[in-house]
């Protein structure tokens, strides 16, 4: 009897069955009770509980990897925080920064090298201000490194592969929309004349332009419009709604009616990539590659 009680204590996850009962049965969808062959002839069976492996598929956790009710910012402060960023940082720096530099230098039009260096400096200042603002308005336990953390539950959603697929899909869509615009409105210059001047002026101008468009600007816009805005919206609404709204705002902020649809498509792809992986690295890489592609087109064409 003592040995019998010791056996019970040593195996707390086992259970007993009376004789002449079925020795293998499911007690829940995930748990199964099984008896070893040596125990089947005993007066009471000693059964071991085992957890069945649940099949994991790419969509078993849903499309979005962003967790609900897990936003670093309070849901009621989303729009006020966005407005604070736009009116204190984005509009003054992005739309008035170069004008201030020109006024300070006593020039009506900046030379390409000065413009490239000023653009890089202005974007770095805006990025720094945005990081401070988002950190100040976030919950105390929030860390920026969370944007780039690896989700162990979704480890099969490789952000590098997602970046490659996203950029390929983006390039295809941009080609199709450009072709449609050509058929509807005729041919127009594909290069940005301002970018072209900065790229062709000097080595310093070229490096500054590449750093601004391929590193600083993608990091800034992805942190604000995907990391902050999309994450916050995803905590209060469906993924597709959050992606659409954040993409529309991202497109509208550029104040380009002619490119609104194209920018909206870009925003949707970036938003879907971030939602799928839960890692901001994916959308940053896609954004950076897209901007690099536009620079290459401006440089050679």
The whole-angstrom separation of Cα 80 and Cα 106 is 36
C-alpha radius of gyration, the chain, whole number: 28
pLDDT along the chain (301 residues), means of 10: 41 43 42 47 43 48 69 86 95 92 88 94 96 90 69 65 88 81 72 86 93 96 95 90 96 90 92 90 94 90 78
CB 170 within 8 Å of CB 286 = yes
Task: Check residue 154 and give its pLDDT.
Answer: 56
Handedness of CA 187, 287, 264, 212 (dihedral sign): negative
Task: Check residue 64 and give its pLDDT.
Answer: 77
CA 83 to chain centre: 21
Handedness of CA 255, 261, 262, 263 (dihedral sign): positive
Q: How many CA atoms lie within 13 A of 191 on its CB side?
A: 15
Handedness of CA 90, 288, 267, 62 (dihedral sign): negative
Task: Check residue 47 and give its pLDDT.
Answer: 43
Quickly tell me which residue has 């509009």 as its tokens. Answer: 91
Task: Check residue 76 and give its pLDDT.
Answer: 83
Task: Check residue 179 and give its pLDDT.
Answer: 82
- How is the chain classified by DSSP, letter by letter? -HHHHHHHHH-TTEEEE-TTS-S-EESSSSEEEEE-GGGTTSSSEEEEEEEPPPP--TTTT-S--SPTT--SS-GGGHHHHHHHHIIIIIIIIIIHHHHHHHHHHT-SS--HHHHHHHHHHHHHHHHHHHHHHHHHHS-TT--GGGGG---GGGTTS-HHHHHHHHHHHHHHHHHHHHHHHHHHH-----S-HHHHHHHHH-HHHHHHHHHIIIIIHHHHHIIIIIIIIIHHHHTTS-HHHHHHHHHHHHHHHTT-STTHHHHHHHHHHHHHHHHHHS-HHHHHHHHHHHHHHHHHHHHH-
Task: Check residue 70 and give its pLDDT.
Answer: 67
**pLDDT tens digits, one per residue of 190-222:** 667 888 899 998 899 999 999 999 999 999 999
**pLDDT tens digits, one per residue of 219-238:** 999 999 999 999 999 988 88
Domain boundaries, the chain: 11-51, 75-139+151-300
Task: Check residue 126 and give its pLDDT.
Answer: 96
CA 283 to chain centre: 5
Task: Check residue 44 and give its pLDDT.
Answer: 44
């Amino acid at each position: 009897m003592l040995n019998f009680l010791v056996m019970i204590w040593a195996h707390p996850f086992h259970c007993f069955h009376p004789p002449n009962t079925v020795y293998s049965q499911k007690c829940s969808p995930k748990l199964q009770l099984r008896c070893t062959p040596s125990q089947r002839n005993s007066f009471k069976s000693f059964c071991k509980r085992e957890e069945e492996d649940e099949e994991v598929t790419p969509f078993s956790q849903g499309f979005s990897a962003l967790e609900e009710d897990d936003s670093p910012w309070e849901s009621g402060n989303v729009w006020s925080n966005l407005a604070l960023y736009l009116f204190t940082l984005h509009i003054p720096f992005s739309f008035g920064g170069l004008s201030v530099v020109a006024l300070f230098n006593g020039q009506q039009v900046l030379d390409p090298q000065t413009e490239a260096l000023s653009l890089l400096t202005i974007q770095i200042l805006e990025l720094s201000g945005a990081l401070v603002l988002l950190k100040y308005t976030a919950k105390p336990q929030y860390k920026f490194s969370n944007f780039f953390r690896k989700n162990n539950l979704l480890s099969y959603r490789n952000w590098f592969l997602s970046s490659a697929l996203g950029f390929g899909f983006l390039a295809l869509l941009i080609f199709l929309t450009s072709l449609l615009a050509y058929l509807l409105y005729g041919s127009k210059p594909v290069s940005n004349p301002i970018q072209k001047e900065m790229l062709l002026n000097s080595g310093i101008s070229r490096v500054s332009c590449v750093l601004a468009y391929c590193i600083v600007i993608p990091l800034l816009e992805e942190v604000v419009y995907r990391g902050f805005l999309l994450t916050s919206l995803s905590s209060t609404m469906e993924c597709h709604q959050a992606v659409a709204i954040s993409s529309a705002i991202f497109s509208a902020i550029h104040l380009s009616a002619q490119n609104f649809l194209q920018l909206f498509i870009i925003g949707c792809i970036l938003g879907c990539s971030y939602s799928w992986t839960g890692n901001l690295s994916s959308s940053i890489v896609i954004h950076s590659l897209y901007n690099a592609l536009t620079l290459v087109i401006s440089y050679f064409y």
